[in-house]
Amino acid sequence: MNKKILISIIGIALASAILTGVTVAYFMDQETSKGNTFAAGSLDLAVNTENPWTSKLVTLSDVKPSDSGSYDVKVENVGTINGSKLSFKLENITEDKGTTPESETLPDNGELCANIDVKLMDGTTELYTGKLNGFTANVLAAGLDAGASRTLKFEYSIASTVDNVIQGDKCSFDITATLEQ
C-alpha cells in the first residue's frame, strides 16, 4: 500500500507541474547591445617634431672659455591621453681627452664635461642648473596633456676662468626625454 500511495503522490506532482507550466503566461522583452569595445589610448612624445627623436640637439666644435648658447627643445604629446610627468636625463656621458697640446696640464683626463655649465628651463622655471656631467638624474618638468606642446630651453656656457685643461677635449652624451602617464 505504501508503494501505491507513493506512486499516486508522484503522479499528482507531475500532473500539477505540467499543468502549471502550460497555464502560466508572462511577457518578455530582450534588447542586445552589439559591438562593445575597449580601446587603449596612446602616450606618444615627439621632440622637435621628430617621432622618434633621432637628430642631435647639440653638435658643437671648437668651444672655448666664455662660449655660451642655447637650444630650443619643443616637446609635444601627439598621443591621445594626458602625460603627468615629463623628464629629461643625460646618459652615456663620456669624456675624451682628445688631443693634448703642450699647453694643457698633464695628466689630461678629459675635463670638458666637468667645465660645461648647463641649464634646462621650462619657461621661467629652472629645471636643472649645474655641470653637464652632474645632469644624470631625471630632471622633472610638468606633465603634458594630449595634443599639447611647449618649448623648453637647453642653455650651456663655459666660464671664462676655465684654463687650458679643456684644450682638445671632447664631451659626448645622449639626451633621453620620457613622458609618463
Statement: residue 2 has pLDDT above 90: no
Statement: residue 14 has pLDDT above 90: no
Look at the chain and report how many structural domains it folds into.
1
User: What are the tens digits of pLDDT across the range 22-69?
Assistant: 556 689 999 999 999 999 999 999 999 999 999 999 998 999 999 999
What is the residue range of 157's domain?
45-180
pLDDT at position 17: 66
DSSP codes joined into one string, the chain? -HHHHHHHHHHHHHHHHHHHHHH---------------------EEETTBSS--S-S----S--TT-EEEEEEEEEE-SSS-BSEEEEEEEEEEEE-----TTSPSS----SGGG-EEEEEETTEEEEEEEGGGTTSPEEE--B-TT-EEEEEEEEE--TT--GGGTT-EEEEEEEEEEE-
List the one residue out of 151, 90, 86, 145 whose CA is nearest residue 124: 151
In this predicted structure, which of 71-75, 132-136, 152-156 has the lowest mean pLDDT?
132-136
Residue 164 included in any domain: yes
Residue 8 included in any domain: no
Biggest CA pair distance of the chain: 127
CATH number for 76: 2.60.120
Is pTM, for the whole model, over 0.85?
no
pLDDT at position 23: 59
CA 22 to chain centre: 66
| Mean pLDDT calculated for residue range 146-156 | 95
In the structure grid, which three cell numbers stand for residue 116, read together? 660645461
Residue 16 included in any domain: no
List the one residue out of 90, 52, 88 whose CA is nearest residue 177: 88
Residue 148 included in any domain: yes
User: What are the tens digits of pLDDT across the range 84-128?
Assistant: 999 999 999 999 888 877 777 777 778 999 999 999 999 899 999
In this predicted structure, which of 75-84, 108-117, 131-140, 149-158 has the lowest mean pLDDT?
131-140
pLDDT at position 20: 64
pLDDT at position 21: 60
Residue 55 included in any domain: yes
